[in-house]
Structure 1
Amino acid sequence: MAVENEFRLDHPVVHLRRGRVDGTHEGLAAARARGQRLGRPPAMTGEQVRQARALLTRPDESVSSIARLLGISRTTLYKYLPEPTDGTR
């Protein structure tokens, strides 16, 4: 009998939680329909990617120095430029 009472107490909580999740999905769908960009913004702009490509062609520039100059991590630089142009990095 105690189990039945617990279930009855949990039921409204589950119902409220489900309503919030549904509302979240509806809100995200509405934002997508408006053409709004969702999620984390890109770490690098198109201009930064072009600048990084140009800097990588210079033999005196290292990946670390380019990343430091652009204010990003080396991992992010490798993510946006997976293959170095000259194959030495």
Structure 2
Amino acid sequence: MTLIGYARVSTLEQDEALQVDALTAAGCDLSRIYVDHITGASTTRPELDRAWDYLRPGDTLVVWRLDRLGRSLKHLVQLVGELGQREVEFRSLMESIDTTTPTGRLTFHLFASIAEFERDLIRERTAAGLAAAKARGRVGGRPKALSATQVEQARRMMSEDNLSATDVAAVLRVSRATLYRAIQGET
């Protein structure tokens, strides 16, 4: 079992020394500590990828704080879940989460449950908001390019005035495809 450390600092002005010192004090070998100098919102983390490639079943990934690893709680839960699938443990020093212990696994599963609960609440609120808007007569999506009056005007221009679809579309300032869809009742 090897302890693999991961540290991340958001800006060049920040110093990783505090995190690296804490990781070495926790038992990580200095040669097995990977440090990214990148914002947490970034989706690419080269040093995390290197640490991920090095991890083997039975190893433990150690971070100073949870926010150093995941961009969000959802992302963190996903990463720790992937570690579990690979039989790699996880430890966060500041939050005292250690998935090698039953208490640590429970704590992390509580975080995961809270994240799932939060996603479900957001989904329910979104559905309720859409239903309420629909009940008030509002529909989502892009507004129609041509009003019903403009569609009738276009039909008249094409039939009575013998204008081409290209000319009518130019007058109404829409594309020919939009004009045809509107006349056929699709938009």
Question: Aligning the two structures, in what range does the TM-score lie when normalised by the shorter sequence?
Answer: 0.7 to 0.9
Overall identity of the aligned pairs, in %: 32
| Higher fraction of helix | 1
Residue 87 of structure 1 corresponds to none
Which of 11, 15, 26 pairs up with 2:128?
A: 26
Residue 151 of structure 2 corresponds to 49
Equivalenced residues, count: 80
Residue 78 of structure 1 corresponds to 180
Q: Residue by residue, what CA displacement relative to the aligned partner does 1:3-59 show, whole Å, maximum 9, x if unpaired? A: 9465443221111011011001111112222x2321222211111011100111233
Give the structure-1-normalised TM-score.
0.72
Residue 69 of structure 1 corresponds to 171
- Structure 1: 4+ residue segments shifted above 6 A: none
| Pair 1:14 & 2:116 matched | yes
Q: Which amino acid aligns with 2:158?
A: L
Residue 38 of structure 1 corresponds to 139
In the alignment, the residues of structure 2 paired with residue 19 and residue 81 of structure 1 have an alpha-carbon distance, to the nearest angstrom, of 42
Give the structure-2-normalised TM-score.
0.38
| Higher fraction of strand | 2
In the alignment, the residues of structure 1 paired with residue 112 and residue 176 of structure 2 have an alpha-carbon distance, to the nearest angstrom, of 49
In the alignment, the residues of structure 1 paired with residue 170 and residue 113 of structure 2 have an alpha-carbon distance, to the nearest angstrom, of 54
**Whose RCO is larger (CA < 8 A, sep 6+)?**
1
